[in-house]
Amino acid sequence: MFDFDKWQEIFSSIRRHKLRTTLTALGVFWGIFMLVLLLGAGNGLQNGVEHEFRDDATNSIFIRRGTTSMAFNGLAKGREIIFNNSDFNYLQNEYKEIDHLAGRFYFSGDQTISYGKKKLSFPVNSVHPDHQYLENSIMIQGRYINQVDINEFRKVAVIGRVVKKDIFGEDEAIGKEINIGGIVYKVVGVYEDTGAEDEMRVIYLPISTSQKVYSGKGDIHHLMFTTGDLPLDKMKELEERIRQDFAVRHQFDPKDQRAVHIFNLAEEFQQFQQLFGAIQIFVWFVGIGTLFAGVIGVSNIMLIVVRDRTKEIGIRKALGATPYSIVSMIIQESIFITAIAGYLGLLAGTGIIALLGSMEVEFFRNPRVDFGVAAIATLVLVVAGALAGLMPAVQAARINPVIAMKTD
């Protein structure tokens, strides 16, 4: 039941000590404000980093050829390692853990693309069909490169959405022919990419066609593959086995890290996940510590309130007030100050997070605080407010009425 008189006394006490109450409430306000702000900022940073990984499958391994830095079996250092189709076939046949496998054949710099009277420059890569899964490419028109294109050395091209817009505008692109370095290719697909806009400026060709037309050999510059749901420790074992096998195939020392560069995206992604797990723990530690300091401030102010109202409390007890009524009055005032200050801190923190969310910053995206976290923070505030007032309330309930009425 609502006790109007008790709340009148609580507000009267607050009005008599405006500055003291405000400074005490500020400690709680700052504690919850910092907790919300740090949690939101931590989530924003984590989302930003995860956003950077969205362009590639996170269970992928990339193998890039390099130059030997160590002599081996009479062979001098400084030899360039060359990948070719036999390396691709070896990975495909010998490693059952590999899910999707693709190679890349690079062109030197951007290529001039001609269509009608238009001449524009875009990056051109030649790839295998599984490259679509490794790059998370999304087909919005037509199809991606397929195995028939590879087998028959077809002159077909898959273009990014930006290429389509710059070359064809609003016109249909599928079935049209573009000239790349003097050779005509038919557009068979248009894709979007989950990465940055630059990722949609790339034109993809069948790797077999480029190998035949531009090099006359089966060179591959870059090999990449995914490993399904293989755990990280097994991926690292697979990575080491491939290094050992390639060392035998290409005659270099297995310890020579510069001969073949192997990049495990899953390992890097897990390292970021572990880092942000540690950041979350740190954020909670700092935020709760700050909040706890504010709650201690509330407890101290309630002790002062009890001391100032010792005579009043003694008179109340002499007139028949129960210990419960004394304790409940002190605890209610403590909870009220804590809850109001905490709620205002929650609103301020959420407002700042919303403002930060409207800003597009690299490695910082969509900062937010989950509803569950906000609910837990509010519950913690209520409990903390009750605990902050408990000790002063118990002390007030133990006051001897006779001694209290003699107090000046």
Residues 246 and 371 in one domain: no
Residue 320, class by beta-carbon neighbours within 10 Å (0-12 exposed, 13-18 middle, 19+ buried)?
exposed
Asked which of 265, 287, 307 is the last residue of a domain, the reply is 265
Residues 29 and 121 in one domain: no
Residues 99 and 243 in one domain: yes
Residues 287 and 399 in one domain: yes
Residues 276 and 259 in one domain: no
Residues 221 and 197 in one domain: yes
Residues 285 and 258 in one domain: no
- The pLDDT profile of the chain, 408 residues, written as one tens digit per residue, is 456 666 676 677 677 667 777 777 777 788 778 777 877 777 777 666 655 555 555 678 899 999 999 998 888 899 999 999 999 999 999 999 899 999 999 888 888 999 988 999 999 999 999 999 888 888 999 999 999 999 999 999 999 999 999 999 889 999 999 999 889 999 999 999 876 678 889 999 999 999 998 887 889 999 999 888 888 888 888 989 999 999 999 999 989 989 999 988 877 777 777 777 777 777 777 767 776 776 676 667 666 666 666 666 666 666 666 666 666 777 777 777 777 887 888 888 878 877 777 666 655 666 676 666 666 766 776 676 667 666 666 666 666 665 555 555
Residues 400 and 320 in one domain: yes
Residue 401, class by beta-carbon neighbours within 10 Å (0-12 exposed, 13-18 middle, 19+ buried)?
middle
Residues 255 and 274 in one domain: no
Give me the pLDDT at residue 385, please.
Answer: 65
Residues 117 and 185 in one domain: yes
Residues 236 and 294 in one domain: no
Asked which of 230, 265, 300 is the last residue of a domain, the reply is 265
Q: SS in 3 state form for the chain?
A: CCCHHHHHHHHHHHHHCHHHHHHHHHHHHHHHHHHHHHHHHHHHHHHHHHHHHCCCCCCEEEEEECECCCCECCECCCCECCEEHHHHHHHHHHCCCCCCEEEEEECCCCEEEEECCEEEEECEEEECCCHHHHCCEEEEEECCCCHHHHHCCCCEEEEEHHHHHHHHCCCCCCCCEEEECCEEEEEEEEEEECCCHHHHHCEEEEHHHHHHHHHCCCEECEEEEECCCCCHHHHHHHHHHHHHHHHHHHCCCCCCCCCEEEEEHHHHHHHHHHHHHHHHHHHHHHHHHHHHHHHHHHHHHHHHHHHHCHHHHHHHHHCCCCHHHHHHHHHHHHHHHHHHHHHHHHHHHHHHHHHHHCCCECCECCCCCCHHHHHHHHHHHHHHHHHHHHHHHHHHHCCCHHHHHCCC
Residues 259 and 329 in one domain: no
Asked which of 233, 265, 297 is the last residue of a domain, the reply is 265
What is the residue range of 43's domain? Answer: 4-53+270-405
Give me the pLDDT at residue 307, please.
Answer: 67
Q: How many structural domains are present in the chain?
A: 2
